């Protein structure tokens, strides 16, 4: 059952017109819009309890600290963490991945002869940090290839696990470029059986599917708040306490310490061991509000609604002459396509002039684009506030642009 269009009124930005046309916002894989509940949570912090946390004894400091740590507990509940102490607040997905990569480099757990496994579907933020780690340690980077549908080759994955000394699998849950949904239920146990730790990039998954870190069986999970209706600049690294405890701190400074002398510093316990300096207090509070908002609607209802939209969009686009749609039929979140003889940037620009906001380019997945022989695609990505009417507007804009550009 489609979500009610009244939900759109929770998002003030969607009420505006762009160049005299209603805004059709289909760039949700890049960032989502923010509901009033999240905007009010941000404003309430600055208007009522703005203070630094964990330090002061005055009322505002206590209130801010309580709100921030409530946010940690709220996130832990949302992803079913066994403890709030396993929830590390970061600036976003990229920072979370870099935290893990850098602490592995410092720990000496990954050395020459070891392998780190990623996939052909990865965002640059889940490629470059591991390349840097390999350069620093002498480890090798192994890539699981994908087939012509943008689905990972599981036989090749099995062979990598059998032939290499794999220490870490770093895998996206849902491809930001093609919407491919990777089979974590099979891939994570295989990596664990091979003796590897597992990091899951849930940047795209967090807004589209239920996350249960205990059931999943991974060791790390990262995501960004702005992908799930919260502000930019706030994200989460979830990690198993027994793994995080044995890794060294990432950054030095206030909050991550127990005691400092000029001769020696002792480090704080989780989660503060990895949260040096003043955190994004407002962002964490707003992230908690975003999870409250999503929970009130229900992830099952959101998933059903978005699945219907993306299936209808794929069907509508397939009727357009010269269209090429990338990725499997069973996709989540994003629909990438190109129009024969038309550059993706030109197509996206004309669609924008018709009030349809899509993303063009390589989507920070240049190796994946190269695999498919293109410099980029047009990507329409969906959220809980998108409607069937907007799917029609998407198809109509492509049709009109095609007539103008051919």
Which residues have a catalytic role annotated?
364
Cα torsion 204, 210, 216, 221 to 10°: value is 40
- The angle, 0 to 180 degrees and rounded to 10, between the axes of the packed helices 36-44 and 281-297 is 150
Nearest to 167 by CA among 204, 136, 192, 200: 192
Nearest to 206 by CA among 11, 39, 383: 383
SS (H, E, C) the chain: CCCCHHHHHHCHHHHCEECCEECEECECCCCCCCCHHHHHHHHHHHHHHCCCCCCCCCHHHHHHHHHHHHHHHHHHHHHCCCCHHHEEEECCHHHHHHHHHHHHHHHCCCCCCCEEEEECCCCHHHCHHHHHHHHHHCCEEEEECECCCCCECHHHHHHHHHHCCEEEEEEECECCCCCEECCHHHHHHHHHHCCCEEEEECCCHHHCCCCCHHHHCCCEEEEEHHHHCCCCCCEEEEECHHHHHHCCCCCCCCCCEEEECCCCEEECCCCHHHCCCCCCHHHHHHHHHHHHHHHHHCHHHHHHHHHHHHHHHHHHHHCCCCEEEECCCCECCEEEEEECCCCHHHHHHHHHHCCEECEEECCCCHHHHHHCCCCCEEEEECCCCCCHHHHHHHHHHHHHHHHHHC
Tokens linked to 318:
């397939």
User: 87-90 and 115-119: which strand pairing?
Assistant: unpaired
Dihedrals φ, ψ of 367, to 5°?
-60, -35
With vertex at residue 101, the alpha carbon angle to CA 244 and CA 114, rounded to the nearest 5 degrees, is 100
């Amino acid at each position: 059952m489609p979500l009610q269009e009244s939900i759109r009124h929770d998002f003030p930005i969607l009420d505006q017109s762009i160049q005299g046309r209603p805004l059709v916002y289909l760039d949700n894989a890049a960032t989502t819009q923010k509901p009033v509940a999240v905007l009010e949570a941000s404003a309430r912090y600055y208007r009522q309890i703005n203070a630094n946390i964990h330090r002061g004894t005055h009322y505002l400091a206590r209130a801010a600290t309580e709100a921030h740590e409530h946010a940690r507990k709220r996130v832990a509940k949302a992803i079913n963490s066994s403890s709030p102490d396993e929830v590390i607040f970061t600036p976003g997905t990229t920072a979370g991945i870099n935290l893990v990569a850098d602490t592995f480099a410092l720990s000496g757990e990954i050395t020459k002869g070891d392998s780190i496994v990623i996939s052909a579907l990865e965002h640059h933020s889940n490629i470059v940090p591991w390349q840097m780690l390999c350069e620093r340690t002498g480890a090798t980077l192994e890539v699981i290839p994908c087939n012509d549908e943008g689905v990972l080759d599981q036989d090749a994955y099995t062979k990598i696990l059998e032939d290499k000394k794999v220490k870490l699998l770093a895998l996206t849950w849902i491809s930001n470029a093609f919407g491919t949904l990777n089979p974590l239920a099979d891939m994570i146990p295989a990596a664990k059986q091979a003796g590897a730790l597992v990091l899951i990039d849930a940047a795209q998954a967090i807004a589209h599917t239920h996350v249960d870190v205990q059931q999943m069986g991974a060791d790390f999970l990262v995501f960004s708040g702005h992908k799930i209706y919260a502000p930019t600049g706030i994200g989460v690294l979830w990690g198993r306490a027994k793994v995080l405890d044995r890794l060294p701190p990432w950054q030095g400074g206030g909050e991550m310490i127990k005691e400092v002398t000029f001769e020696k510093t002792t480090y704080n316990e989780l989660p503060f061991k990895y949260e040096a300096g003043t955190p994004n207090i407002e962002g964490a509070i707003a992230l908690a509000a975003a999870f409250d908002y999503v929970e009130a609607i229900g992830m099952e209802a959101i998933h059903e609604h978005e699945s219907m939209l993306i299936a209808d969009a794929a069907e509508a686009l397939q009727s357009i002459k010269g269209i090429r749609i990338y990725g499997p039929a069973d996709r989540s979140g994003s629909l990438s396509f190109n129009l024969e003889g038309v550059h993706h940037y030109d197509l996206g620009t004309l669609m924008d002039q018709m009030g349809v906001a899509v993303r063009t380019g390589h989507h920070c997945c240049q190796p994946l684009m190269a695999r498919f022989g293109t410099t980029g695609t047009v990507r329409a990505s969906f959220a809980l506030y998108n409607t069937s009417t907007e799917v029609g507007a998407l198809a109509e804009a492509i049709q009109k642009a095609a007539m103008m550009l051919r």
